[in-house]
A and B are shown apart, each in its own frame.
Chain A
Amino acid sequence: MTPATDVAIREDLPTIEALMARIAALETQVADLAERVPENKFSMVVLSGDLDKVLASFIIATGAASLGLEVTMFFTFWGLNALKTGRSLGGKDLLERMMSLMTPGKSTELNPSHLSFFGAGAQIMRHMMKMKNVASLEELMAMATELGVTMMACEMSMDIMGIKQSELLPDTPVAGVATFVDLATRSRATLFI
């Protein structure tokens, strides 16, 4: 133990005022840093509408939510097909109607990225998953909702593909890139699928 007298009154020690000023400067710096530290968030872009990739997305999303992360999935382009609850052709132009008819109208119509066999692949894959007791995509989606996972739709790709809000799951929030980037920069991890 060093005797306390060793630190007694030394001329070169900073004054209380100087120390206070340094603390204030540090506090400002810490506050600045705090704004840049990631929050307890996890964000995902789901661009793919392939059954396998959408499945993986929901497995990861529900897993992350279980680990206590606040999860947001941002669905864009083909990924939007997973959020569809049915097809409606009203109010669409010719190309939009074609696009609508040539893409899956709901999650149960998604095809795998490989071995699609004109639709049979999905049935085979779903059958194999069921046999192995793996939760179906629809069960995982319901679980995600229950766990509070936010499923957002990209406004711009909805517009390009002529997808109407009424075709998506009820109360799907619609947002743009700024919303996603803001979320992503505050997330602990971000995935693009």
Chain B
Amino acid sequence: MARPSDRTLDVRGQRCPMPIIKAKKEYETLPPGQVLKVLATDKASVFDFQSLVKNLKGAQLLEQETVNEAGTDVYVHYIQHGG
């Protein structure tokens, strides 16, 4: 279920590889300990974010959830900066 986050990145409508690129850029400006919430509609983002987080130093994927918004699946990813 929805959890608290410090920042939200909206990449809804964007396709591979954009969600990953944007999330990486946002992550780099995230202060340690903070949580980034990413909203995506790209189905590939579910597996892609797992791989991305594995490769970002100190990053942790706290949760991934799928929310249905007006008939569209929105994939929500919560990434915490390890710091």
Contacts and interface: CB of A to CB of B under 8 A. Distances in A.
Contact of B20 (A66, A69, A133, A140): A66
Which of B17, B18, B23 has the most chain A CB within a 10 Å cutoff? B17
A159 B13 CA distance: 43
Given A63-B20, A147-B21, A135 B15 contact: yes
Interface string A56-73: 000100110111110000
A134 interface: yes
A68 B56 contact: yes
Given A68-B56, A68-B57, A63 B17 contact: yes
A36 interface: no
Interface in B10-63: 13-18, 20-21, 23-24, 51-52, 55-57
B18 A135 contact: yes
B13 A133 contact: yes
Nearest to A139: B18
Contact of A68 (B17, B21, B55): B55
Contacts of A143: 21
Nearest to A63: B17
- The contact size tier of chain B is 10 to 19
A66 B22 CA distance: 8
A66 B53 CA distance: 10
Nearest to A129: B15
A92 to B, nearest CB: 37
A156 to B, nearest CB: 31
A66 B14 contact: no
A59 B17 contact: yes
A67 B57 CA distance: 10
Nearest to B13: A133
B23 to A, nearest CB: 8
Interface in A135-149: 135, 140, 143, 147
15 contacts: A59-B17, A62-B17, A62-B21, A63-B16, A66-B20, A66-B23, A66-B52, A67-B20, A67-B56, A68-B55, A68-B57, A133-B13, A134-B15, A135-B18, A140-B17
Interface of B: 13-18, 20-21, 23-24, 51-52, 55-57
Nearest 9 interchain pairs by C-beta: A67-B55, A66-B24, A63-B17, A134-B15, A66-B20, A66-B21, A62-B17, A59-B17, A68-B55
Interface of A: 59, 62-63, 65-69, 132-135, 140, 143, 147
